Homo-oligomer: A and B are copies of this chain.
Amino acid sequence: MAKSSLSNPLALAVLSCLLEKPMHPYEISTTLRNRGKENSIKLNYGSLYSVVESLSKHGMITASETVRDGRRPERTVYEITPAGREKHDSWLSELLSTPVRDFTSLEAGLSLMPGLSPDEVSRLLDMRAEKLRISLRSLQATFDVAGERGLPDLFLVEDYYRRAMTQAELDFVVKLAEDIRSGALGGAKVWQRMHELVDSGVSLEEIGKDPVRFLGEEARVMQPPQ
C-alpha cells in the first residue's frame, strides 16, 4: 500500500461515487453536485482531476475505458479497485470516529481579537450574529423543502450538523458580545484602557516595554513568564 496518503476528502467522495458504478470525472462532479455534496466537500475541477490522478497512481481506482465522442474531449471512465474499497471504508471510519483539529476562521479571529478595540469587536460580533441568524433561517428552508419532497433525514445529516454548529456559534457570539460590553469578560478593562492609550497616541511598542506602568498590575501577565 502506498505510503503517501491522500488527504483531500474529495478523494473519498470520488471513491464513494465509484462504489456505485464506474464514472468519468466530470460525471462524478455532477453527481456530487446533484446530491448537494458540494456543500460539505470542497469541489473544484482542478482538485478533482488531480485527486483522480493521484487515486489512480495509488491503485485505488483504474481507468476502465476511454471514450471519444466525435471531437469532444476524451472521457476516461474509472472504476474502483478492491484496494480502493478498503481505503474507502477505513478512511470514512477514520473521519467519523476521530476528531481532527480544523482551524476555523472565527477561531483565528478570536485569537487576534485584542488587536481591535472592545467596542469595535462587540459591534462586529453583533453583525456576525445577524448573519448567523440568516444562515439558520436558510437552513430551515432547506429542511422544509426536503420534507415536502420526502427526502429522508439520512441524506440531510450534514445539514443538521451544520445547523447545530451554527446555533452553537450564534449562542457563543451573542454571549461574548454581551460579556465584552458588560465587562464580565476577564481582562476587558485592560483591553479597553490599552486602546484608549493607543488612540491617544502611545505606540503599542512603548506599552509593550512596560505594560505595568501603562496598564497597572493586571497587565503583569502580559510579560514573558521569566
Q: Chain A residues in contact with chain B, CB under 8 A?
A: 9, 12-13, 16, 19-21, 34, 37, 39-42, 88-89, 92-93, 95-100, 102-116, 120-121, 124-125, 127-128, 131-132, 135, 149-155, 157-158, 160-162, 164-169, 171-172, 176, 185-188, 190-191, 204-205, 208, 218, 220-221, 224-225
Contacts and interface: CB of A to CB of B under 8 A. Distances in A.
A154 B95 CA distance: 32
A115 B132 CA distance: 31
A102 B105 contact: yes
Nearest 6 A-B pairs (CB), nearest first?
A: A152-B187, A154-B187, A95-B109, A168-B168, A153-B186, A9-B108
Contact of A41 (B108, B155, B158): B108
A206 to B, nearest CB: 10
Contacts of A100: 105
A153 B187 contact: yes
Nearest to A118: B154
Contacts of A42: 103
A221 to B, nearest CB: 5
A20 to B, nearest CB: 5
Contacts of A204: 19-21
A135 B100 CA distance: 11
A160 B107 CA distance: 10
A218 B155 CA distance: 13
A104 B218 CA distance: 38
A187 to B, nearest CB: 3
A62 B127 CA distance: 33
A42 B135 CA distance: 27
A166 B20 CA distance: 34
A164 B154 contact: no
The residue among A21, A103, A112 with the most chain B CB atoms within 10 A of its own CB is A112
Contact of A131 (B99, B105, B114, B128): B99
14 contacts: A16-B115, A19-B115, A19-B204, A41-B103, A92-B115, A93-B116, A95-B112, A107-B161, A149-B225, A152-B190, A154-B188, A157-B185, A164-B171, A164-B172
